[in-house]
Amino acid sequence: MFWQIKSYEEYQNAYKKSLSEPEEFWGEIAKSFQWKKEFDSVQSGDFKKVDVKWFEGGILNITENALDRHLEKRGNHTALIFEPNEENSETKKYTFQELYTEVCKTANMLKSSGVKKGDRVCLYMSMVPELLISLLACARIGAVHTVVFGGFSAKALSDRINDCECSLLITNDGGFRGEKTIPLKEIADEALKTCPSISKVIIHRRTYSDISLQNGRDFWWHDLQSSAASECPAEPMQSEDPLFILYTSGSTGKPKGVVHTTAGYMVWGAYTFRNVFQINDKSIYWCSADIGWVTGHTYLTYAPLINGITTVMFEGVPNYPHPGRFWNVIEKHKVSHFYTAPTAIRALMGQGDHWVERAELSSLKVLGTVGEPINEEAWIWYHDIVGRKKCPVVDTWWQTETGGIMISNLAGVTPMKPSYATLPLPGVEIVLKNDKGTDLTGNNIEGNLCIKRSWPGIARTVFRDHDRFKQTYFSTYEGYYFTGDGCKKDENGLYRITGRVDDVINVSGHRIGTAEVEDAIDLNPHVIESAVVGYPHDIKGQGIYAFLICDQTLLDQEEIKKSILKTVTQQIGPIAKPDKIQIVSGLPKTRSGKIMRRILRKIASGETENLGDTSTLLDPQIVEELKEGKV
């Protein structure tokens, strides 16, 4: 592809041009994709009005770019390799031609189930090929997919379905995840008790678990899909038609339904993928993320297929049936490009080098990380032990809202530095600001990470709540997209993301809002008040620490704690369970009643000195109790 950057100099030129002549720069790149009708204008709108549009006037379908476009020359090339949970059961492979047929059949199944362009379809599934196929099938007919991670609870699922009024749900009977079987259909049944918009459920059979089917509502995938026609014309979509909604947590309120549109997302994902990973036609690429998160959307599903390369999908978990599983998968499928999260790297690092060393990993060319800051020790282990010092490591910073990678080195092309995401991609104009909103300039600075201009992949809105979109991302610093992350710039101008500066906790690369966890905990009848903060955790990056004021009806603290964990699991899911719970008699509040989270964060981190100014507290004594408190 002419837009693949091959040297540091080319990177510098591309970066400069992307800012000085953005229309020409992105216009040329976008033309290399397949359009039913080419766009009339490249970009309009800005971050003041928050009305960004890309490639207006264009008509396309993203699945024609991911599938049809490759059929003639690469129809027999492997598009998807599925590696099941059980190490010894059979892997499944799909060529581009086979994947195309499956997507068309599934699209026809959705159509005959009544799904129309613009309808929202919820996917609550485990990591099986049919999940990836379902995403593409929705896109094929212009339905908007909204994937809910299979680890979320019935309540979390129904909240999401109701927020965007999905008409159809696709799920599995159950999902395999390591030693566990997740009863997806059972959880979905519970959720659907409060989801009036859902009129049909399609169940893909995976675990053969015993489930009940509701007459007239529930249908088996294999009954409907096998008889569907194997050609399905791709729905003509406007560039700015919505492609998907994905819920993500912020510092306040319920998770937001982030909306991505078609053309800009496609161009951004494909462009960043090829350049960051430096793939070629023979690349075999494995992204270990679950499709329930944005990484699984952009870099497991869309970007690799649009680039016509093989994507590997793994159903299981890193340590099942043993801590060498990841490395065995790489060996088995001759993976050349591997993309995972720091939390997995840290967990596997702790299992000892022999698990890595006994696998034959010579196929590896590039290693990537995403989701949270990677500490230097984990970076070096990944580079030296997994990559045998031969593979560049790309540390890719981005967010659900950015659609694709924003800051990263380009593998083997631009400089790398342990724990640094390094340099912005073309089109990404970074500004670091202090809390007062002043731009910080030069090198050796640290501030709040903002982006000054729009790029093709940015989310366009929060579903049916554009004000919240504006408020959340564009009101802290007017005219700028504020990421919620802190960032350092070193003496050479390389960027290092330091973590969230808002009330979002990053647990194993999963974003969890403290307010969301507090709201869940507060539903427990024993709880009077709660405050939740993050604290450093060796494996997860951050852990969840809850301070609770409880009533006196349950005297056994262990009972209370158990009950809290149950409440959180019911309201959100096991991923939001606090790692530590401290029951307290009061919280550090100012006279105006605001909880001083700064103090709680320090106490949760085990920092009991230098708590800063506590004189404004209503009851400074409480700090002493918290410091001494038992967890």
Question: Considering the rule CB under 6 A, would residue 395 count as an interface residue with ligand 7RM?
Answer: yes
Please, what is the minimum distance in Å from the beta carbon of residue 424 to ligand 7RM?
13
Q: Kindly indicate which of the ranges 4-12, 61-69, 390-398, 587-595 contains the residues binding ligand 7RM, using the contact rule CB under 6 A.
A: 390-398
Instruction: Please identify which residue in 83, 372, 502, 518 interacts with ligand 7RM, judged by CB under 6 A.
Output: 372
Question: Considering the rule CB under 6 A, would residue 484 count as an interface residue with ligand 7RM?
Answer: yes
Bond before 321 cis per omega within 30 degrees: yes
Q: Kindly indicate which of the ranges 84-92, 146-154, 195-203, 477-485 contains the residues binding ligand 7RM, using the contact rule CB under 6 A.
A: 477-485
Lookup: tokens for 299: 């870099």
Q: Kindly indicate which of the ranges 385-393, 397-405, 428-436, 580-588 contains the residues binding ligand 7RM, using the contact rule CB under 6 A.
A: 397-405
Taking CA atoms, 335 is separated from 98, 220, 269, 290, 365, in Å, by: 21, 34, 20, 18, 8
Lookup: tokens for 30: 């976008």
Residue 311 has a CB neighbour count (10 Å cut-off) of: 26
Alpha-carbon distance of 483 to 203, in angstroms, equals: 37
Instruction: Please identify which residue in 295, 476, 542, 582 interacts with ligand 7RM, judged by CB under 6 A.
Output: 295
Which of the residues 398 through 427 are near ligand 7RM (CB under 6 A)?
398-400, 421
**Residue 433, strand partner residues:** 439, 448
Strand pairing class (242-248; 256-261)? antiparallel
Instruction: Match 């007919």 to its residue by tokens.
Output: 141
Alpha-carbon distance of 289 to 254, in angstroms, equals: 23
Question: Considering the rule CB under 6 A, would residue 294 count as an interface residue with ligand 7RM?
Answer: yes
Instruction: Match 């909103």 to its residue by tokens.
Output: 437
Identify which of residues 47 and 96 has a Cβ nearer to ligand 7RM in the complex: 47
The answer to whether 175 and 206 are in contact (CB under 8 A) is yes
Q: Kindly indicate which of the ranges 97-105, 290-298, 354-362, 531-539 contains the residues binding ligand 7RM, using the contact rule CB under 6 A.
A: 290-298
Please, what is the minimum distance in Å from the beta carbon of residue 423 to ligand 7RM?
13
Which of the residues 147 through 186 are near ligand 7RM (CB under 6 A)?
none
Q: Kindly indicate which of the ranges 114-122, 208-216, 321-329, 478-486 contains the residues binding ligand 7RM, using the contact rule CB under 6 A.
A: 478-486
Question: Considering the rule CB under 6 A, would residue 370 count as an interface residue with ligand 7RM?
Answer: yes
Please, what is the minimum distance in Å from the beta carbon of residue 458 to ligand 7RM?
13
Instruction: Please identify which residue in 506, 508, 524, 582 interacts with ligand 7RM, judged by CB under 6 A.
Output: 506
Question: Considering the rule CB under 6 A, would residue 497 count as an interface residue with ligand 7RM?
Answer: yes
Please, what is the minimum distance in Å from the beta carbon of residue 206 to ligand 7RM?
26
| One character per residue 320-359, x = contact with ligand 7RM (rule: CB under 6 A) | ----------------------------------------
Taking CA atoms, 534 is separated from 504, 542, 569, 576, in Å, by: 8, 6, 18, 11
Alpha-carbon distance of 99 to 80, in angstroms, equals: 8
Strands (E), 148-223: 168-172, 175-177, 180-182, 200-204, 218-220
Please, what is the minimum distance in Å from the beta carbon of residue 557 to ligand 7RM?
33
Question: Considering the rule CB under 6 A, would residue 500 count as an interface residue with ligand 7RM?
Answer: yes
Instruction: Please identify which residue in 242, 316, 371, 392 interacts with ligand 7RM, judged by CB under 6 A.
Output: 371
Q: How far apart are the first and last CA of the chain?
A: 56
SS3 62: helix
Instruction: Please identify which residue in 63, 126, 248, 542 interacts with ligand 7RM, judged by CB under 6 A.
Output: 248
Size of the site for ligand 7RM (CB under 6 A): 24
The answer to whether 537 and 570 are in contact (CB under 8 A) is no
Residue 238 makes CB contacts below 8 A (sequence gap 6+) with 58, 59, 262
Residue 522 has a CB neighbour count (10 Å cut-off) of: 15
Phi, psi (degrees; rounded to nearest 5) at 402: -85, -10
Q: Kindly indicate which of the ranges 77-85, 302-310, 313-321, 389-397 contains the residues binding ligand 7RM, using the contact rule CB under 6 A.
A: 389-397
Alpha-carbon distance of 487 to 510, in angstroms, equals: 19
Question: Considering the rule CB under 6 A, would residue 265 count as an interface residue with ligand 7RM?
Answer: no
Binding site for ligand 7RM (CB under 6 A): 248, 293-295, 370-373, 395-400, 421, 483-485, 497, 499-500, 506, 509, 511
